[in-house]
Structure 1
């Protein structure tokens, strides 16, 4: 299990780090409009201001530590980044806490029955996976949205670093929040996310973050949701994959504020096929 933990961190660091059936999405306020700017509010974020019944903290079951985020999209299924559950991770290695703002208490706690990686997944390509819960939950899932253009206001959620250790990768103890954090931003033009190790794929990934305030997703936010507020509630757009690579060619740098999300909306057909075939 410690091998799972260390390899997960290494993977995240190296690259960083659906209405599918009948989901009833949780309503939320319209995020502020973005004009390429966005709020100055995860690095640079704030503690969650409302409940998110679909938010998931993915834990290393043996060590009892949060390792990634995920989103409940069905009473029995969550979606996350494939690099969060790759490297031979077994379902029994995982515990999921669903619908709590705190990563270590509350919500609905479940185990994993099955892990399904996208057939073409790697940490820089189709970075998406599904986890089948060992028991269904009553939490309201989030509906998967339609693909959205640059300029769309979005919200990201996560328990990731609020500050980064330097010069080493990772979070100092004081940078690991217990309470979920949120950050309002916008979808950027794909050209704003330049990653020399793993370039963004405009047809299947989303660029977001607040470079003007150095605010964005970071280590520990992997797999967590990128959301859009609608009249019918929050809708899911993405799962966090990685941050940009800075100029030395290998060091992940969360401080730029720019991050790349897997666009889960383009994988709707695959997700539906897995869920319906379970």
Structure 2
């Protein structure tokens, strides 16, 4: 994965999906010109340089709604190309349109440099395994807060314990090396009855293909 940096500082994660394109959350890039953004890839460290890439295109989903978090997906096209297939730079697979490959209870892996349980932003890339939650539980947990639409799903534990957090946004939730979710939103971090909510990538496979021809 890559660190998406705004004015030089890590802000979000992003996942490589081809030699020129990465996918992230729309809320990470909404309203940002390409000149303000930088992708740092090929390093497991938050601050140690890897390979920096400037951007050609910044695309937020045209129906992204900031207050409600719906359609929270965006694309970035780099200037140049990634050298794929190295230990630290490689692409992740995408699901087919409307096909969810991870059943309820299956463990998926999130990665990022976001706030950890010690309330610090770690220097090294972190991983956490989270179970895909039953949709009815997820919808009930956020009833009266923000609607969990069919373009979202929850992963984590209803009693809290583990979660993604601030500055993990835009990063991957993967299952069998396939990008099933993008870190999107939640109420706090690892709070009981407020699991992490992820963009359901399978709902946007055709949208991704429209811009990237992948």
Compute the TM-score of the two structures, normalised by the length of structure 1.
0.67
2:45 to 102, 116, 128: 102
Give me the whole-angstrom Cα distance separating, in 2, the residues matched to 1:223 and 1:103.
15
- Secondary structure of 2:190's aligned partner: helix
Q: For residue 77 of structure 1, what is the aligned residue in structure 2?
A: 21
The superposition leaves residues 84-137 of structure 1 with CA deviations (integer Å, 9 ceiling, x where unpaired) of 001x21001011112321122243210111111112112310100001111211
- Which residue matches 2:58? 115
SS of the aligned residue for 1:265 comes to helix
Offset, 1:212:
4.0
What is residue 141 of structure 1 aligned with on the other side? 91
1:40-69 deviation line (CA, Å, top 9, x unaligned): xxxxxxxxxxxxxxx011011x3x211001
Q: Is the 8 A contact 1:82 1:122 kept in 2?
A: no
Specify the alignment match of 1:52 in structure 2: none
CA drift at 1:274 = 0.4
1:205-216 matches, within 5 Å, as 205-212=152-159, 214-216=161-163
**Equivalent pair of 1:92/1:113 in contact (CA under 8 Å):** no
Q: 2:106 aligns with which of 152, 161, 181?
A: 152
- Answering whether residue 174 of structure 2 is matched by residue 242 of structure 1, we say no
- Which whole-Å CA distance do the structure 1 matches of 2:49 and 2:19 have between them? 18
- Gaps of at least 5 residues in structure 2 are 85-89
Contact 1:142 1:235 in 2 (8 A): yes
1:161 to 112, 115, 128: 115
Give the 3-state SS of the residue equivalent to 1:143 in structure 2.
coil
Q: Determine which of 218, 225, 229 is the counterpart of 2:172.
A: 225
Aligned to 1:267, what secondary structure does the other structure show?
helix
Q: Secondary structure at the match of 1:58?
A: strand
1:6-155 alignment, distance < 5 Å:
55-60=1-6, 62=7, 64-86=8-30, 88-123=31-66, 124-139=69-84, 140-145=90-95, 146-148=99-101, 149-155=103-109
SS of corresponding position for 1:255: coil
TM-score calculated relative to the size of structure 2: 0.86
CA RMSD of aligned residues (A): 1.8
| 217-226 or 100-109, larger mean C-alpha shift | 100-109
The number of equivalent residue pairs is: 198
Cα distance per residue 1:215-243 (max 9 Å; x no partner): 101110101100002xxxx1111111101
Q: Check whether the contact 1:187–1:208 (CA below 8 A) recurs between aligned residues.
A: yes
SS in 1 for 2:182: strand
**In 1: Cα distance, 2:10 partner to 2:58 partner:** 18
* Equivalent residue in structure 1 for 2:148, among 193, 200, 225: 200
Deviation at 1:158, TM superposition (A): 0.9
